Amino acid sequence: MVKRYRNNKENEMQRSLSLDPEKCTGCLQCEMACSNEYEGRFNPAHSRIKVFAFHDEGRFVPYTCTQCADAWCRNACPVDAIAIDANTGAKVIVENRCVGCKVCTIACPFGTVNYDHTRGKVMKCDLCGGDPACARACPTGAITWVDADWTGYDRMRQWAEKTDNAAHV
């Protein structure tokens, strides 16, 4: 069943993206929608969400920023250019402060902050301000915008903790 959530101000704090590889068919609608949202054109190369295809296992894995509670990218930024969106909790690049030093791209252990050569700044998922285009575009319910309590990030977060140093509390 496809779940669609309207952007609801009161619930935003409890919402997050849920990624469920079991339901992903590798159609790449999310990449198209993301690229269109940010760049105004359909080019998966500009997408902040990526779908990895493991053809030998018949498995597809949608993958994007987990919006870590205590974000590696944000902690590593030398000029305080990554802010927290008060509505969604998303870690958002402040374009006019980002100098393009790329330290966040190596600090993020998920590889989800990337450098945009054309603009000389970094880019990452910002949850579209609370109405993620990827979730709207996903036809199979593999990407949903749900209550934060049960998201597909949990297992990734566990790996994050293993990578993490215990300082992040």
Partner 1 sequence: MKYVIVGSGPAGVTAAETLRANDPQGEILLIGDEPGPPYSRMAIPYLLEGSIGEEGTRLRPDRDHFDRLQVALLEARVESLDSEDRLLVLSDGGRVQFDRLLLATGSRPVNPPVEGLDSPLVRHCWTLEDARHIMDHASQGSRVVLLGAGFIGCIIMEALVKRGVRLTVVEAGDRMVPRMMDQVAGHLIERWCIEQGIDVRTSTRINLVEGNEKGLRLQLEPGGDLEADLLVVAAGVVPNTGFLEGSGVTVEQGIRVDARQQTSVPAIYAAGDVCEGVDWDGGHGIHAIQPMAVETARVAALNMAGRETEHVGSMDMNVLDTLGLIATSFGRWQGVEGGDTASLLDERRFRYLKLQFEGERLIGAITLGTTDQVGALRGLIQSRRRLGRWKERLMQDPTRFMEAWAAIAS
Q: How far is the CB of 6 from partner 1 (least distance, A)?
A: 27
Residues contacting residue 32 through CB under 8 Å, at least 6 positions apart: 42, 44, 47, 137
Q: How far is the CB of 166 from partner 1 (least distance, A)?
A: 5
Among 27, 61, 146, 148, binds partner 1 (CB under 8 A): 61
Residue whose C-alpha is closest to residue 105's, from 81, 89, 133: 81
Place of tokens 């296992």: 57
**Residue 130 vs 152, nearer CB to partner 1:** 152
Q: Contacts with partner 1 in 91-150 (CB under 8 A)?
A: 97, 99-103, 105-115, 117, 120
**Residue 3 vs 168, nearer CB to partner 1:** 168
- β partners of residue 19: 143
Q: Please tell me whether residue 27 adopts helix, strand or coil conformation.
A: coil
Query: Contact, 65 vs 48, CB < 8 A?
Result: yes
**Positions that interact with partner 1 (CB under 8 A):** 19, 21, 50, 52, 54, 61, 63, 72, 75-76, 78-80, 97, 99-103, 105-115, 117, 120, 155-156, 159, 162-169
